Structure 1
């Protein structure tokens, strides 16, 4: 992808990483359209970057890496195509895949193996500390809105969405009851059929947290949740051995409790290894809150002025962090 004129090398590469996230978001939007989705997705990619291709690809786990003056590893979830959407449905060992990508990068003669780090967001908060704890050679970790505890994060997200949508007290109580029912079923090792029966019999609002959509729970998605619902990054954060960390948080994050995340990172990581940057006007994805609230504004800005998507200082803060390493 081509960065705007006037950026230095590090900032240009960071721009490319963030813009790649936007491209994936565009494709998800286009694929939700009823017709011409494949052609539209291709045309959209070409408008954002002619001859768009991943710069590097490592292993079957689809761990993709983006070369910078420092080398950052970014991994995406494995997805499969269903009849109506693309969804994360298969759990895979993210940390092992990331370690494999790092090893692949170190083996390349055109990459300085001493200057490799991790950049990740949201659920990567459960992956990067585990990887950094096992690989002391990583030069840095940039953690964007990372989650700490799966269950606390899920409850926070559920309540934040209920507040955003103006849910009534009755709807809130029903949603929390469904959440507790889901957790009880997970703890008992219930099957997806038992989950579906319980949800059909439950009263109140739909299960926003577990299903993620009105389409209901698939067997693979249920397996994914069952394998990961006890995730907690605290132990892996303690096992990290002095890797410099930049924690990036948005003030309008409805997915992750940024207060808990900041409190946990500060309590566990040595002060000399942790830098925290907060952007009050940013959402979970670091997009400006006023833009993300409007799907039209979000799409048009992403297409015609992509750098304006991000809250002021997002790129600069990461560039300065990298320059000091």
Structure 2
């Protein structure tokens, strides 16, 4: 397995780019890429010619997360203005505007069947769920206190939630917090199950294995410089991967489940072979920290091949071919 650099787009946004998500192809449209930046915009890219085909506005502060619906061409963008904008990718028509008081919203993710949208609730120490038919808030899953808590400064919140991920069967939801803990919830019962320990610094990115056979396998990226691989249901840390020189800000898993890619504040993107449990490639396309990596859908002509995108504080967007 390898990554081959395809194209690097400088000044893809007017400010730092913090998020990326792929829009699945349809019968009449190829797969596209959404990016969100601190310039308050979301941009849509056509990887066939590496051009920006549309710029979406609507937020009054930086966009920190973008997510796309698995079956329909709708997307959601979350901003530090505390709002989530749900919109039609083709027309830019606003479908819903969601607010999650009393705190800002960080990462957002649609469920695998598209029936719910989950949002990491920042200082509210919770994950909020909206249904995608009426866009009503249907659940707020709060993270419980972990053991005896010593009195602390009220301004500090160790359970500040940064990241969220769905298992491929939609049964489990995991969220990562500033204190390094990962909380796992049973979605159907909106019930907290347990913590996954092991990290000692913020967990900024989470992703489950795409295979239903490995639906319990969770990958986590942390500022402590490690990627952990957990059995999220069995509460087991299976292995830990290290090699980046600084914070790991993003992790994503390839569609074939054989590799993961990571983006780091050490300015690199790394490709990891999960069987070897080692990094096989380090790419240095960016001049500043890499906030997001995202594998695209598999090629129609080769199911073992897909694109990877990475975005950075240097305002650039890079495309790679994974095979």
Normalization by structure 2: what TM-score?
0.27
- For the pair shown, the structure with the greater C-alpha radius of gyration is 1
* TM-score normalised over the length of structure 1: 0.27
Structure ranking higher in helix proportion: 1
* Larger fraction in strand: 2
